[in-house]
Structure 1
Amino acid sequence: MLSDETKQFVPYVRAEDDYPQITFKAVILGILLSAILAGANAYLGLKVGMTVSASIPAAVISMAVLRLFKESNILENNIVQTAASAGESLAAGVIFTLPALILLRYWSDFPFLDTMAIAMFGGVLGVLFTIPLRRALIIEKKLKFPEGVATGEVLKAGTEGGKGIKYIGLAGIAAALYKLGQTGLKIFSGSVSGSVTTGRSIFGMGTELSVALLGVGYIVGLNIAVLVFAGGLISWLFGIPLYMAFTDPAELSQVVGNMSGYDAALEVWSQKIRYMGVGAMVVGGIWALISLAKPLKDGIVSSWEAVQKARSGNSADIPRTERDMPINYVLWGILGLGIPIFIVFTQVIDMAHLPVSSGLYWTTMSIGAVFSLVAGFLFASVAGYMAGLVGSSNNPISGVTIATILATSLILLALLGTQIDFSVDTERAQAAAAAAIVVGAMVACAAAIAGDNMQDLKAGQLVGATPYKQQIMQIVGVVSAALVIAPILSLLFNAYGLGGVLPREGMSSSEMLSAPQATLMQSVAEGVFARNLEWNMIWIGAVIAVAIIILDKVLEAKDFEFRTPVLAVAVGIYLPLELTVPIFIGGVLAWYVGRKVVNRAKNEGADPEEAKTNAERKGLLFSSGLITGEALIGIVLAIPFAIQESTDALRLVPESFAPYADWLGALAGVFFIIWLYKVAVRK
């Protein structure tokens, strides 16, 4: 039964007013935007290890395009953003995992059919898994879903004549030009860094001069931005210096070699400290599952009740705005996908790469397929829950993926270890690690889509959409993105290189896409089979996570507004500090803007909440433009880079210009901070 609060909720479009939603023009536009945004976020995620929800820019673009037609409505725009945002989310699941097969040297490029199938089946699973969760998380649990709410507000503003496209357009063009000057023309530096050495310890500090990350920080707000930055400080202010101070000099020399300064600190983080993030992610994922047990049960019960009503002819009692895809269709769909998933595993990990007995091989593939379904459901639930807490942009999909890969690797080690000595048979160890990555990729795609789906359903609830129609369009968006993701990844790999792997000689490593999550996945899988995983660091990270969970419960008991969701801190622990700095600046800026406009409204006798809401909306739109512009130009630049086989294809200045490029880049970064502030506080 629906709660009293739910019955009193009145969406923007009432349940009895069923406007056209899945129209021909909406489907075509949704397909196109899904493909484009998948490419843009694939670039952003491979560069910095984070993606940002595409729902807001997709909603604004949809409003701008559909306004050209004689008839369009808010529900049609919502359907477009539902399909389009699936592209961004699916890209996250793919780029956090499948590049690890390149890093393992198991793949030399991204094969179209294999990449498409993993992305498509995992994404569709994510949609199906979250259908029984809609009532539990959106209605009964009353989670915030910050980006879903923001998307709903943007859609309302567009219907009411808002000028959101202006903010996104200006910010997007400026960010694209800035990125062109950074990566293409080399006029602006992409980052600045430095270090201080005290004894044997190195304290590194740096920042990416990325306006996309500035926008990320502004969107997620001060609380999450502080936590991500705090995670970075745990690694860089404490972890790295303490490790270097207390580690045997000979062992430390094996890690850093001849490196010094910031490069040495970065190497220590890469090989040792970031594994604390693994431990924190595993504990955080388990905690999220425990927290989700009751709403998960409630969601399934509610869904079965809806099916029983439909069978008894009482479905008319269910409002249009509460109708999901029938749960029996969902269950049959999940079970049916088990067969093609099993076939994909046998194609990617064939017996030639994993030469064990026939019985053991087929047992391994079967366990991989079943584990994908079980872990996919559990972690899709976690992802949906986390999207409600912190939004899908900051949803740490990599955390649940790490837990999946770690568990899968340990299972495969126990199974295959009966016939393979992984300590000497490195080729089979590589294949076993690849098998764990494929399972992780399937789960990651499901979890990424689950978080996005819940966010879109929240936006749909606010505007009065029909849930099952959104769920259909989410699947359309998944299929569209899956069809283009392999060529995009191949283009990026051949243009920039990934995570230390360059496709040909003579390429510059300075512009290489770091693929931080995929690198971490590779290290975890390889470390299990090589029996050299940094378990001490993992346990330290787990202890830190427990402490953060305890702190969060204390803050909750004292009714503090500031909270400490553990997975947000874990993200910062394993990201390079320079990536967390602009996120932190963006979060602080969002807080300062809110404080500024509220005080001004009070002094002028205006409504403080209305002033804050208007400022948040303008800042969100402008930040979304910064993210979209930088990400899209990264895709465009990949084309000349791939053709010329060099990231210097468009260079205008010599390498000796680098000191000036640092200053110009820093000044441009400050300009964007001031501009974002001015836009947000403007009356």
Structure 2
Amino acid sequence: MQNHSVNAAPLPQLTRRAIVLSIILAMILAAANTYLGLFAGLTIATAIPAAVVSMAVLRVLGGGHILENNIVQTGASAGSSIAAGVIFTVPALVILGYWDDFKYSWVLAIAGLGGVLGVLFSVPLRRSLIVDQQLAFPEGKAAAEVLKAGEHPEQGIRVLAGAASIGALAKLIAASGLRLVPDTAAHAGFIGKAIGYLGTNLSPALLGVGYIVGLNIGIVVVAGGILSWNVAIPVYSAFFLDTDPLLAARIAGSDAEGAAGMIWSAQIRYLGVGAMLIGGIWTLIALRKSLLSGVRSGLAATRAGAMKAIAHTEQDLPMKAVLIGLLIFTLPLALLYQAIVADFTVSLPMTLIMIVTGFLFSSVSAYMAGLVGSSNNPVSGITIGTILFASLVLTFLMGRDAALGPVAAIMIGAVVCCAAAIAGDNLQDLKCGYLVGATPWRQQLMLAIGAISCALVMAPVLNLLAKAYGIGVPTASHPNPLLAPQATLMASVAKGLFGGELPWNMIWIGVGIGVVIIAIDELQKKRGSSFRVPVLAAAVGIYLPLDLTVPIFLGGLFAHWVERTTGTHRDPDAAEKVHRKGVLFSAGLITGEALMGILIAVPIVTAGRSDILALPAGLQFGEVPGLAIFAAIGYLLYRVARSGAYEALCEGR
């Protein structure tokens, strides 16, 4: 770390070029994560690719030191957080039919103000979680390692750019582009009345996600998918379908794959809803002592800092400014809620719920980011908890049949989700800054700027994707839409609590499954096992189509093989550096595929045809070439990561 003395003058951090570069990167990464999240229900932390790009660009512009690069990655990392906060919730307003498209000013208010509130909520937590408790914050530590090793960023840029080109090309030739190969390779069949299903998506981005989250999470996610698709669906189709005549009538005449999809959509995915519900509640219970301790420690540090000079590396935004900011940025949201319900006796409680749950869940998010990282942070479970609590209060105030009830609950959840996502990201960035000697208040200010910048582009990107691919609900024009799994879930939960119909039997079974998973994870914790079973990761796997979870597992398997075949799992000193190349290559695959998905959407929307780029039928190939290309990209990821692991091992000697 840098010199932490009181009189040590820091190098310039919030430079004009750093701010401009950070804003540009934040917007690009927000767009990429928007596509990824709507497609697969997951987003990834973007600090490391942002740090690599920053080092290369600032070097070209002349100079660029570690603290300036740190500021760039801090603001740019808001791209993944704001994207997650928006796509997990805001599409629910379209799915519910409240909006026909994404309203620019409303999305800007939800994302921008929610993001700034997340920064302010997290300020009192820095000292406790980073300085006192020394939580891991894995992405923050990894970003710090990249910044410290930044003497030669050219290699990292080549890896990132090369992988992005591969990801973009793979997306271009897939089913939404040239249609040279399909998006998935899947097969299903009837075994008596039961349905058997096996398949994988051919997306390189999902391989990259799996590599980044690792084998442990990959196993848990795919196990959830297997439980849903290879256990629950066959059991339901064999023994319970006859008790659901409406669903049976819809399935009649469908092939096995179509029947499996309809059973999953109507019934089985709600097992994941139940598991997410109990997972969110358990997270709060498990973290209650740590959260209270963090808040007390942060407030005490603020009071102490007011009475004596402290080093720039310990200077947070002043608590007085935080409180004033909370008031200033809450008022527009209160007016927004009033515009929805037109009843002060409802909008005021909505605002209070947003503030209380926003701070509480921002604390949960910050703590979880310290434990498992931002990419694995259970923000969706946190948001479900918010929507449930808000719905229960609003049913008392508005009545269970209130047409605007689900909309009001989603609006509260959307702001809280943005705040919680940014809070977790803020602590990751502050951990990186702590390790390289940055000034906390400058990072906090930069992240707020990054959050607002991302909010500016969210509505146009969402509208473009909705028109090109469809979001959430299959229609005649978009039979295979971007699933937006979390937003669809939020809409279902909110609607179900306001007079709608939900398969509560499945939800309660899912709660029971979640309890069993929690018990297994607690047993693993007591045994001191390195393999854990986070309930929210399992719930996401249950809720997603199986073909999306398989490549995530394969990516985690590649990460595991890299460690085992190079022996780096036995070298703790090199642990932080082992996966640097693999992470950069994975981030490139994700970014390239996502950005190409957005670019492809432009001609689709302009022409009004989803097949505008499609090659003639005679030039379109089947699953086997698609699987071959997918396997080749996976092998390339493995080779690149393996070479990086050997380099890390040599550095550690």
| Bin of the TM-score, shorter chain as denominator length | over 0.9
Aligned to 1:355: none
Matched-pair contact (CA < 8 Å) for 1:190–1:208:
yes
How much does 1:250 deviate? 4.8
1:554–1:451: structure 2 CA closer, same or farther, 3 Å change rule? same
Partner in structure 2 of residue 284 of structure 1: 279
2:232 pairs, out of 208, 215, 239, with 239
Aligned to 2:395: 413
Distance change >3 Å, CA 138–CA 614, structure 1 → 2? closer
Does structure 1 retain, via aligned residues, the 8 Å contact 2:52–2:153? no
Q: Is the 8 A contact 1:597 1:612 kept in 2?
A: no
Aligned partner of 1:566 among 532, 535, 552: 535
SS of the residue corresponding to residue 62 of structure 2 reads coil
* Secondary structure of 1:158's aligned partner: coil
Paired position in structure 2 for 1:271: 266
Q: Which residue of the other structure, out of 198, 201, 207, is the alignment partner of 1:205?
A: 198
Shift of 1:614: 4.5
Among candidates 445, 450, 466, match of residue 423 of structure 2: 450
Residue 496 of structure 2 corresponds to 527
Quick one: distance in 1 between partners of 2:50 and 2:609?
Answer: 32
Q: What residue number does 2:651 align with?
A: none
Pairing partner for 1:681 from 620, 639, 642: 642
Which letter maps to 1:229? V
Gaps of 5+ in 1: 1-9, 352-360, 423-427, 602-606
1:370 to 352, 355, 358: 352
Describe how 1:420-499 pairs up with structure 2 within 5 A.
Answer: 422=401, 428-429=402-403, 431-499=404-472
Q: How does 1:573-612 map to 2 (within 5 A)?
A: 573-598=542-567, 608-609=571-572
The alpha-carbon distance between structure 1 residues 63 and 14, as it changes in their structure 2 partners (threshold 3 A), is: farther
- Are the counterparts in 2 of residues 147 and 391 from structure 1 also a CA contact under 8 Å? yes
Shift of 1:69: 2.0
- Overall identity of the aligned pairs, in %: 49
Q: CA deviation at 1:260?
A: 3.2
Please report how far the alpha carbon of residue 657 of structure 1 lies from its aligned counterpart in structure 2 after TM superposition. 5.7
Asked if 1:156 is matched to 2:148, the reply is yes
**Counterpart Cα distance in 2 of 1:639 and 1:335:** 40
Cα distance per residue 1:78-98 (max 9 Å; x no partner): 111111111221011111111
CA contact (8 A) 1:278 1:399 kept: no
The amino acid that maps onto 2:602 is I
CA deviation after TM superposition for structure 1 residue 25, in Å: 0.1
Secondary structure, aligned partner of 2:567:
helix
* Contact 2:233–2:268 (CA under 8 A) maintained in structure 1: yes
Q: Secondary structure at the match of 2:211?
A: helix
Number of the residue aligned with 2:484: 515
Aligned to 2:171: 179
- The residue identity in structure 1 corresponding to 2:410 is I
Contact (CA 8 Å) 1:437, 1:525: kept in 2 or not? yes
Number of residue pairs matched by the alignment? 640
Partner of 2:650: none
8 Å CA contact 2:4, 2:311 repeated in 1: no
Which residue of 346, 362, 365 corresponds with 1:380? 362
How many Å separate the matches in 2 of 1:639 and 1:12?
50
Contact 1:618–1:680, Cα closer than 8 Å, also in 2? yes
Match of 1:101 among 75, 93, 103: 93
Q: Structure 2: which amino acid aligns with 1:439?
A: I
Match for residue 672 of structure 1 among 633, 640, 648? 633
Q: Which residue of 2 aligns with 1:396?
A: 378
Residue-by-residue CA offset, 1:220-266 (whole Å, 9 max, x unaligned)? 11111111111112211222222223315151552543333122112
* Separation in 2, partners of 1:17, 1:43: 42
Secondary structure at 1:638 match in 2:
helix
Cα distance change of structure 1 residues 588 and 14 upon mapping to structure 2, 3 Å threshold: farther
What's the secondary structure of 1:196's corresponding residue? strand
> Distance between the aligned counterparts of 1:12 and 1:463, measured in 2?
10
2:118 is the alignment partner of 1:126? yes
Structure 2 distance, partners of 1:450, 1:327, is: 16
Q: Which amino acid aligns with 1:19?
A: L
Distance 1:614 1:34 in 2: 25
Of 77-86 and 376-385, deviating more is: 376-385
> What secondary structure does 1:185 align onto?
coil
User: Given that residues 231 and 572 in structure 1 are in contact (C-alpha distance below 8 angstroms), is that contact kept between their aligned partners in structure 2?
Assistant: yes
For residues 338-360 of structure 1, give each alpha carbon's deviation from its aligned partner in whole angstroms, at most 9, with x where no partner exists: 3211111123x254xxxxxxxxx
By how many angstroms is 1:663 displaced?
1.7
Of residues 601, 605, 624, the one that matches 1:663 is 624
Distance 1:678 1:562, change over 3 A: same
Q: Is the 8 A contact 1:82 1:456 kept in 2?
A: yes
The 3 A distance-change label for structure 1 pair 189 and 531 is: closer
For 2:154 and 2:286, locate their aligned partners in 1 and report how far apart those are by CA, in whole Å. 39
Q: 1:630 aligns with which of 583, 593, 603?
A: 593
Residue aligned with 1:195, SS: strand
Q: Residue 597 and residue 21 in structure 1: after superposition, are their counterparts in 2 closer, same or farther (change >3 A)?
A: same
Give 1:203 deviation, angstroms: 2.5
Residue 81 of structure 2 is aligned to residue 89 of structure 1: yes
Matched to 1:144, the amino acid is A
**Is residue 289 of structure 2 the alignment partner of residue 294 of structure 1?**
yes
Looking at structure 1, the residues matched to 412 and 543 of structure 2 have their Cα atoms a distance apart, in angstroms, of: 22
User: Structure 2: which amino acid aligns with 1:407?
Assistant: F
Please state whether the residue corresponding to 2:482 is helix, strand or coil.
Answer: coil
Check the 8 A contact 1:597/1:615 in 2, yes or no.
no
Once the two structures are TM-superposed, the CA of residue 620 in structure 1 deviates from its matched residue by 1.0
Match for 1:617 among 567, 580, 584?
580
1:544 and 2:513 correspond? yes
* Aligned partners of 2:520 and 2:533 also within 8 Å: yes
- Select the residue among 646, 660, 678 that pairs with 2:609: 646
| Per-residue deviation, 1:391 | 1.6
Higher alpha-carbon deviation: 39-48 or 247-256: 247-256
2:455 maps to amino acid? A
Q: SS where residue 395 of structure 1 aligns?
A: coil
Partners in 2 of 1:679 and 1:248 — Cα distance? 48
- Cα displacement string for residues 133-157 of structure 1 (whole angstroms, at most 9, x for unaligned residues): 2222223333322222221212222
Where structure 2 has 5 or more consecutive residues not aligned to the other structure, the ranges are: 647-653
Structure 1 residues 572 and 17, CA, compared in 2 at 3 Å: closer, same or farther?
farther
Q: How does 1:39-50 map to 2 (within 5 A)?
A: 39-50=31-42
